[in-house]
Chain A
Amino acid sequence: MVLSRIASQSDVSVHSTFASRYVREPLPRYKMPENSIPKEAAFQIINDELMLDGKPRLNLASFVTTWMEPECDKLIMDSMNKNYVDMDEYPVTTELQNRCVNMIAHLFNAPLGEAEAAVGVGTVGSSEAIMLAGLAFKRKWQNKRKAQGLPYNNPNIVTGANVQVCWEKFARYFEVELKEVKLREDYYVMDPEKAVEMVDENTICVAAILGSTLNGEFEDVKLLNDLLLEKNKATGWDTPIHVDAASGGFIAPFLWPELEWDFRLPLVKSINVSGHKYGLVYAGVGWNIWRSKEDLPEELIFHINYLGADQPTFTLNFSKGSSQIIAQYYQLIRLGYEGYRNVMDNCHQNAMVLRKGLEETGRFKIVSKEVGVPLVAFSLKDNSSGHDEFEIAEMLRRFGWIVPAYTMPADAAHVTVLRVVIREDFSRALAERLVLDIIKVLHDLDALPPSHHKHQETPSPKKSDLEIQRETVACWKKFVLSNKSVAANKNKIC
């Protein structure tokens, strides 16, 4: 416990926080302050600054869960001080992770025997999961090539141009070439035929997305599997598939169980899913499941033995909190199949309500499909009035909504969309309110003269801290929006 002996001023113990001197001093930004301050003051100062952040539940840009039941919040707080990696000290928490891995593996129809343990791991998010999966593919391919006496210094991976930025990170950091299948207008996912064409002997895997970030669409993994099987027969390269089911992994099994995209397809060797998207847990948990032990090269695994049964650990992060793993287990047993199905059904219905409301305005074209992640991506039918989707997004902020606007990647960079993600906590009432607010915004924009989309930044003289603070929020938004209009830029929200 900190026994801080602050200077002997009556200030501290008697005055309320806003009467004390701590709220009139400038905040430390570059260097640690010399002295301590009372905890109430510290709390208040930080809490107040954070009021200027967006509201998580109105952040319609994000797939990541923003609400959990209070019972789960309690479990989370209770385990906040447990370092997950201490498997020796917290065996039950480790066991809960294993149970989650098994449940998710079964959800994805992994070919497991009755009491056989699944091969998989909990991660901090799909980024780490994808890097681990990619590492496994890379190592496996390298070993295969070495055994054949062929060069192994030029691995590549085939994906669509709609991939989330973490695939680019994986490629850049682990020195794998990224071969992207370009999109085109009205076809915003990876074309399986073009993908299979691009596969060569250096391809470590083909990555398909179940739930594209841009419009929520599910890629046709079955078709990809069939075409790739043919090519593999012809070439003997045995190229595998990885499914990035970050969003879709917790949706497809409940809403469309007959859709074959998972381990039912023989070439699918690993799947990642974000626990913190439709797994319905707060940010900070993802999962990667491998088909079988053979798909995870031994040399990558650090071994821990648990009661005689083998427990491989293979993660990039080491120390991390246990809260999200426990929360994931809570959700899996609290909701079960029935509960997840109900939640996804609700999301889907609410997405349809929003979609219909937007269509009825007559001003928008809906870009997202009905089968996919529950989101609505829409663009203006007519941009000739001189206003575009970025302005709509900006004006919706006035009402508190955060609705992002993006341009599609190559080769459909001329198409801009607005996208609303329907999460568990986005009720029908909110959907209807959003439609009303969008209609209001359209009226307001119609009344305004056409404006230039690119916002110029004038070079400014030295500003006071408060001005800088205000400009921060405004310019920040503008810069990010203008960055998003650059064709080569990818959607950085997952």
Chain B
Amino acid sequence: MVFTTTVTDSDEQLHNTFASRYVRTPVPRFKMPEKSMPKEAAYQVINDELMLDGNPRLNLASFVTTWMEPECDKLIMDSINKNYVDMDEYPVTTELQNRCVNMIAHLFHAPVGESETAVGVGTVGSSEAIMLAGLAFKRKWQNKRKAAGKPYDKPNIVTGANVQVCWEKFARYFEVELKEVKLKEGYYVMDPAKAVEMVDENTICVAAILGSTLTGEFEDVKLLNQLLEQKNKETGWGTPIHVDAASGGFIAPFLWPDLEWDFRLPLVKSINVSGHKYGLVYAGVGWVVWRTKEELPEELIFHINYLGTDQPTFTLNFSKGSSQIIAQYYQLLRLGFEGYKRIVENCTENARVLKEGIERTGRFEIISKDVGVPLVAFSLKDSSKYTVFDISESLRRFGWIVPAYTMPANAEHVAVLRVVIREDFSRSLAERLVSHIEQVLQEVDARHGHVSTDASYISPAVEENNHQGKKTGAEKREEEITKYWRRLANGKRTGVC
């Protein structure tokens, strides 16, 4: 406990926070302050600044869970001081991770025997999961090439151009070439036929996405598997598939259990899923599951032995909190198959309501499909007077954060708005959003002739603020901040997962 012997100032003991001197001194930004301050003041100062952040539950850009039951919040807070990696000290927490891995592996139809343990690991998110999966593929491919006496310095991975940024990171950091299948207007996911064409002897795997970030669509993994099996027969390369089911992994098994995309397809060797998306846990947990032990090269694993059965640990992060793992187990146990199914059904139903409401305005074209992640992606039928970026900006006034993006190559001329339906987005909110969109449309129509400064989103250059009018300096700056920020952040293709 900190016993601060601060200056003899009646300030601290008597005055309430907003009467003390701490709220009138500038907040430290570059250097640590010399002196301590009372905890109430520190709390208040930070809490107040954070009021200016967006409201997480109105953040319709993100797939990541923003609400959990209070009972789970309590479990989270109780375990916030447990360092997950101390397996010796917290064996039950480690056991809970193993149970989650097994449950998720079974959900994905991993070919594990009745009491055989699945091969998988909990991570901080799908980024880490994908890096681990990619590392496994890379090492396996290298070993195979070394054994065959062939060069192994030019590994590549085949994906669609719609991949989330973490695949680019994997490629850049682990020195693997990224071969992207370009999209085209009206077809915003990876084309299996084109992907298989691009496979060569240096391909360590083909990555398919179940739940594309941009439109929520599921890629046709079954077709990919079929075509790749044929090619493998001809070439003898044995190229495997990885399914990035970050969003879709906790949706497809409940809504479309007959859709074959997981380990039921023989070429699928590993799958990642984000616990913090439709796994319904707060940000900070992902899972990767391998088909069998053979898919995970021994040399990558650091070994811990658990009751005689083998417990491999293979993660990039070491110390981290235990809260999210426990929360994931809570959700799996609390909801069960039935509960997850109901929630995703609700989401899909609310997505339908939203979609219909948007269609009724007559001004939008729906880009997202009905089968996929519950989201609605829509573009303007007519972008000549204003763009989706203007609509996105105007919706902010109501508190909604609805992102606007352009598609990657070769469909950059298509710009969409995207609303993600999470567990806590109820029908009443959907109806309210529709009415706000209608309001916004009326406003931008009235401002006919207003030139959008957002038209050229590609350049991150600073642009002039065209909105003159009666605004105070601070308000103007505030508005500039949000506008520049969004405009410049839009320079990254997909910033949210």
- What's the Cα separation between A106 and B31 when bound, in Å? 6
| CB contact list, A290-320 vs B, under 8 A | 299-300, 302-308, 316-320
Establish whether residues B316 and A316, one from each chain, have CB atoms under 8 Å apart when the complex forms: yes
Q: Which of A49, A316, A326 contacts B92 (CB 8 A)?
A: A49
Whether, in the assembled complex, A9 has its beta carbon less than 8 Å from a beta carbon of chain B, the answer is no
Establish whether residues A166 and B318, one from each chain, have CB atoms under 8 Å apart when the complex forms: yes
Establish whether residues B333 and A28, one from each chain, have CB atoms under 8 Å apart when the complex forms: yes
Establish whether residues B80 and A318, one from each chain, have CB atoms under 8 Å apart when the complex forms: no
Stretch at the interface among A38-46, A367-375, A407-415, A448-456: A38-46
- Closest Cβ neighbor of A106 among chain B residues: B31
* Given known A282-B81, A317-B127, A473-B91, contact A86–B495 (CB-CB < 8 A): yes
* Given known A32-B336, A82-B283, A317-B127, contact A92–B52 (CB-CB < 8 A): yes
- What's the Cα separation between A107 and B283 when bound, in Å? 30
* Given known A2-B343, A476-B88, contact A338–B35 (CB-CB < 8 A): yes
Contacts of B293 in A (CB 8 A): none
Whether, in the assembled complex, A339 has its beta carbon less than 8 Å from a beta carbon of chain B, the answer is yes
- What's the Cα separation between A71 and B38 when bound, in Å? 10
* Given known A43-B330, A93-B50, A283-B321, contact A317–B30 (CB-CB < 8 A): no
What's the nearest-Cβ distance from chain A to residue B462, in Å? 5
Whether, in the assembled complex, A274 has its beta carbon less than 8 Å from a beta carbon of chain B, the answer is yes
Render A88-129 as a binary contact track against B, CB cut-off 8 A, 1 for contact.
Answer: 111111001001001100110000000100000000111110
Render B32-45 as a binary contact track against A, CB cut-off 8 A, 1 for contact.
Answer: 11111101101101
Render A26-38 as a binary contact track against B, CB cut-off 8 A, 1 for contact.
Answer: 0111111111110
- Closest Cβ neighbor of B125 among chain A residues: A319
Whether, in the assembled complex, A67 has its beta carbon less than 8 Å from a beta carbon of chain B, the answer is yes
Size of the A side of the interface (Cβ < 8 Å), in residues, is 139
Which of A73, A80, A135 has its CB near the most chain B CB atoms (within 10 A)?
A80
Contacts of B335 in A (CB 8 A): 2, 4, 36
What's the nearest-Cβ distance from chain B to residue A248, in Å? 16
Establish whether residues A127 and B283, one from each chain, have CB atoms under 8 Å apart when the complex forms: no
* Given known A80-B73, A338-B36, contact A125–B318 (CB-CB < 8 A): yes
Render A251-281 as a binary contact track against B, CB cut-off 8 A, 1 for contact.
Answer: 0000000000000000000000010100000
Establish whether residues B172 and A300, one from each chain, have CB atoms under 8 Å apart when the complex forms: yes
Establish whether residues B320 and A302, one from each chain, have CB atoms under 8 Å apart when the complex forms: no
Stretch at the interface among A169-177, A178-186, A380-388: A169-177
| CB contact list, B129-161 vs A, under 8 A | 131, 135, 153
- What's the Cα separation between A339 and B33 when bound, in Å? 10
Whether, in the assembled complex, B398 has its beta carbon less than 8 Å from a beta carbon of chain A, the answer is no
Contacts of A334 in B (CB 8 A): 36-37, 39, 42
What's the nearest-Cβ distance from chain A to residue B397, in Å? 15
Contacts of A336 in B (CB 8 A): 28, 32-37
* Given known A73-B80, A75-B46, A326-B46, contact A318–B52 (CB-CB < 8 A): no
Q: How many CB-defined contacts (below 8 Å) exist between A and B?
A: 426
- Closest Cβ neighbor of A335 among chain B residues: B36
Whether, in the assembled complex, A131 has its beta carbon less than 8 Å from a beta carbon of chain B, the answer is yes
- What's the Cα separation between A425 and B2 when bound, in Å? 9
Contacts of B173 in A (CB 8 A): 135, 174, 300, 316
Binding site for A on B (CB under 8 A): 1-5, 27-37, 39-40, 42-43, 45-47, 49-50, 52-54, 56-57, 59, 61-62, 64-69, 71-93, 95-96, 99, 102-103, 106-107, 114-115, 124-128, 131, 135, 153, 165-166, 168-169, 172-174, 274, 276, 282-284, 299-300, 302, 304-308, 316-322, 324, 326, 329-330, 332-340, 342-343, 346, 401, 403, 423-424, 426, 460, 462, 481-482, 484-486, 488-489, 491-492, 495-497
Please give me the 3 A-B residue pairs with the lowest Cβ-Cβ distance, nearest first: A334-B42, A42-B334, A339-B36
Binding site for B on A (CB under 8 A): 1-4, 27-37, 39-40, 42-43, 45-47, 49-50, 52-54, 56-57, 59, 61-62, 64-69, 71-93, 96, 99, 102-103, 106-107, 115, 124-128, 131, 135, 153, 165-166, 168-169, 172-174, 274, 276, 282-284, 299-300, 302-308, 316-322, 324, 326, 329-330, 332-340, 342-343, 346, 402, 404, 424-425, 427, 457, 468, 471-473, 475-477, 479-480, 483, 492-494
Identify 11 new A-B residue pairs, CB closer than 8 A, beyond the known A28-B103, A320-B284.
A3-B346, A33-B337, A36-B335, A39-B72, A49-B92, A303-B491, A303-B492, A321-B324, A326-B50, A335-B36, A483-B305
